[in-house]
A and B are shown apart, each in its own frame.
Chain A
Amino acid sequence: MYPFNYHRPQSADDALALFKAAEDGIYLAGGQTLLPTMKQRLAAPTDLIDLCNVPDLRGIELETQAVSVGALTLHSEVAGHEGIRSALPVLSSLAGEIGDSQVRNRGTLGGSVANSDPAADYPAAIVGLGATIHTMDRSIEGDDFFKDLFETALNPGELITRICFPVPERAAYQKFPNPASRYAIVGVLVADFSGEIRVGVTGAGPCAFRASGIEQVLNADLSPESIDAVEVPESGFNNDLHASAIYRAHLVKVMAKRAVADLLN
């Protein structure tokens, strides 16, 4: 690994100050994306600012109609948390399907969401459940958070502290995983908020989005078959060695149908 400076601030303010003072600083959470990216020289920051000792970034809180999860919470903690399993099982099963167990033992919610990898799983839950992303200085609605490939609404140095997921009546997530990495080639989360349906899609486009066409038909008739009538245009979808844009457009419908079937079960 090439040389860089490592910092371990004890507060969010210190983290931000270090970020501002660095030539090219970056926050470090679980490192499961950042460290491989640096080894491949896709990023070469001068300063790594480890968030591990910043207070208030951990912990899972169950509220009446929401689950609030600290940014540094591990994927394996979300997957194994009894409270989330009963209040919002779709989130624990989604987290349990991320990568492999070693990745889940280091990777964090905040890191995954801040990174906005087009194939990451959590973004489907952010848009599909209409989560709120809390940072040090504001709250950002899930619908406004993902902007483009690896681009979010976060300002430089803005730290995610917690993410709050509203609890739907029922929900289901289905992904078509890349067999090597388990990242989502396409993943679809369908949530039923007492008759109002939300559909979050990851993997298909440059960043996660809501499938409004599918939402519309499901709002009229919540059944897998009703999705047959929807046209999912492939324009703007990812086209790479893993799958063509046309195939991804096809998978959006297939995963959505499976998710609805699951949800009705």
Chain B
Amino acid sequence: MQVEVTVNGQAHVLEVADNTLLVELLRENLGLTGTHVGCDTSQCGACTVHMDGRSVKACTVLAAQAQGAEVVTIEGIGSADALHPMQEAFRDCHALQCGFCTPGMIMSAIDLVSRNPGIDNAGVRAGLEGNICRCTGYHNIVRAVIQAAQNM
């Protein structure tokens, strides 16, 4: 089947099998491997991207369900020279260890902070319930999100 989808501002028309997941379209068809697959069972949030401005788990969305949608991935929020304030804050606060959960954490955190300016620690912890860090570095992740919230 054909899927028309805009990813990081660029329009694509792609031919995919009906059973293709959005995360497969991103990683395999478009080579955007910043979006990770941790669990593949909707638990960990490593695959989080924005679809029409809301954070979603790309392992639990069919490519076909993204028809006509605007998708933003970790590759689309900043560049090496001009990091997004959330990326900057993750770097400053040492909010990553192995880095596997980081793209998903950052995508969730951006959605969370843009909807809840002035969010506090408890709000960040509740808002990131869908993202699991296997390195368990939550303390610094929460610090980073709070710091970014002040600069976003």
Contact = CB atoms under 8 A, between A and B. Distances in A.
Interface of A: 1-6, 8, 28, 31-32, 35-36, 39-40, 48, 50, 52, 76, 99-103, 105-106, 180-182
Pairs A-B, 7 closest by C-beta atoms: A100-B130, A6-B18, A105-B54, A100-B129, A102-B130, A1-B19, A102-B57
Contacts of A8: 64, 67
Interface residues of B, number: 30
Contacts of B40: 39
Interface in B38-62: 40-43, 45, 48, 51, 54-57, 60-62
Contacts of B45: 100, 102
Contacts of B21: 1
Given A36-B41, A102-B45, A6 B54 contact: no
Contacts of B88: none
A36 B42 CA distance: 7
Contacts of A182: 129
Given A6-B64, A36-B60, A39-B41, A101 B130 contact: yes
A101 B127 contact: yes
B1 interface: yes
A181 B61 CA distance: 19
A76 B112 CA distance: 12
B121 interface: no
Interface of B: 1, 17-21, 40-43, 45, 48, 51, 54-57, 60-62, 64-65, 67, 108, 111-112, 127, 129-131
A99 B43 CA distance: 10
B142 to A, nearest CB: 15
A3 B17 contact: yes
B56 A106 contact: yes
A102 B48 contact: yes
Given A100-B130, A100-B131, 10 more contacts: A1-B19, A3-B19, A31-B65, A50-B64, A101-B55, A102-B57, A103-B42, A103-B57, A103-B130, A180-B43
Contact of A106 (B18, B60, B67): B60
Contacts of B64: 6, 8, 50
Residue of A4, A6, A50, A103 contacting most chain B CB atoms (<10 Å) = A6
A105 B55 contact: yes
A3 B55 CA distance: 26
A220 B82 CA distance: 65
Contact of B19 (A4, A52, A101): A4
A36 B43 CA distance: 10
B48 A6 contact: no
Contacts of A50: 62, 64-65
Nearest to B112: A101
Given A4-B18, A102-B57, A32 B42 contact: yes
